[in-house]
Structure 1
Amino acid sequence: MKKLAVVLTIVGVCASLAAVGETARRRLENPALGMIRHVVLFKFKDGTSEADVKKITDAFAKLPDQIPEIADFEWGTDNSPEGLAQGFTHCFLVTFKDAKARDAYLPHPAHKAFVDILKPHLDKVLVVDYVATR
């Protein structure tokens, strides 16, 4: 009976190690797995000028140089033919190595200064964070 318990324990440990190894292998193949994606969509107030929008997008695009926790950054404007954007015109994708990096970004002085630039022109914002998986 003891031998069976030892064998079952070894099998369980091996299965756990195999699962951990598979996760590690997938992360080596795609290092972005497990990273936090911070998706931000803006709908600007009516009357917001193109110059103000440019000031906002430029300020957001400078954050990766000011906040080392940002692993990657990209943005674009809506071009979907579906017409379901509900007035949201600008989408930003900010990537963080982990939740700790994201949590350091939110109260960062550069992020707060950006929010101060944005707020007077913002009608609505939608934010979704997720962990990259396959």
Structure 2
Amino acid sequence: MSDRTFIRHVVLFSAKDKADIGRIREGLSMLADIPHSSLFEVVENSRVDAFSGEIDVVVYAEFKDDAALQAYKADPIYQQAIDLVRPLRDKRIAADF
């Protein structure tokens, strides 16, 4: 077990149309303007793992605690990003640990 005192938030996205990957990345990058994370990244999958190429974009963020994560999700920018990205994405898989 880890004695880490922060929450890692990882969200994986696949695009319905690969031509929209850039738009998905740009829409998710809006989330960087939300001030509650201590680290925030949006990157395209480098596809180094030959067995798992279905993920196109990854969001990685760190939050000091659950309250910070919940404040991030409650920010109006979060909903704006969802509204922009949801029609373009196929899969969305999230994990918090």
Q: TM-score, normalised by structure 2?
A: 0.82
Secondary structure of the residue aligned to 1:70 is coil
Secondary structure of the residue aligned to 1:55 is helix
- Pick from 23, 30, 36: which aligns with 2:7? 36
2:31 corresponds to 1:63: yes
2:44 corresponds to 1:73: no
Unaligned runs of 5+ in 2: none
- Pick from 67, 74, 77: which aligns with 1:107? 74
How far 1:84 sits from its partner (Å)? Answer: 2.6
- RMSD over aligned Cα, in angstroms? 1.9
**Is contact 2:10–2:96 with CA below 8 Å preserved after alignment?**
yes
Unaligned runs of 5+ in 1: 1-22, 24-32
The structure richer in helix per residue is 1
Distance 2:18 2:46 in 1: 19
Distance 1:63 1:99 in 2: 17
Percent identical pairs in the alignment equals 29
Structure-2 change in CA distance of 1:110 and 1:79 (3 Å): same
The structure richer in strand per residue is 2
Work out which of the two has the higher radius of gyration on C-alpha atoms and give 1 or 2: 1
Residue by residue over 1:56-87, the C-alpha shift from the partner in whole angstroms, topping out at 9 and shown as x without a partner, is 3123223222x111211123222344323251
Greater relative contact order (CA < 8 Å, ≥ 6 in sequence): 2
Distance 2:14 2:60 in 1: 15
Distance 1:104 1:83 in 2: 36
Distance 2:5 2:96 in 1: 12
Residue by residue over 1:6-44, the C-alpha shift from the partner in whole angstroms, topping out at 9 and shown as x without a partner, is xxxxxxxxxxxxxxxxx7xxxxxxxxx311110010011
Amino acid at match of 1:60: L
What is the correspondence of 1:1-134 to structure 2 with a 5 Å cutoff?
Answer: 33-45=4-16, 47-49=17-19, 52-65=20-33, 67-85=34-52, 87-130=54-97
How far 1:127 sits from its partner (Å)? Answer: 0.3
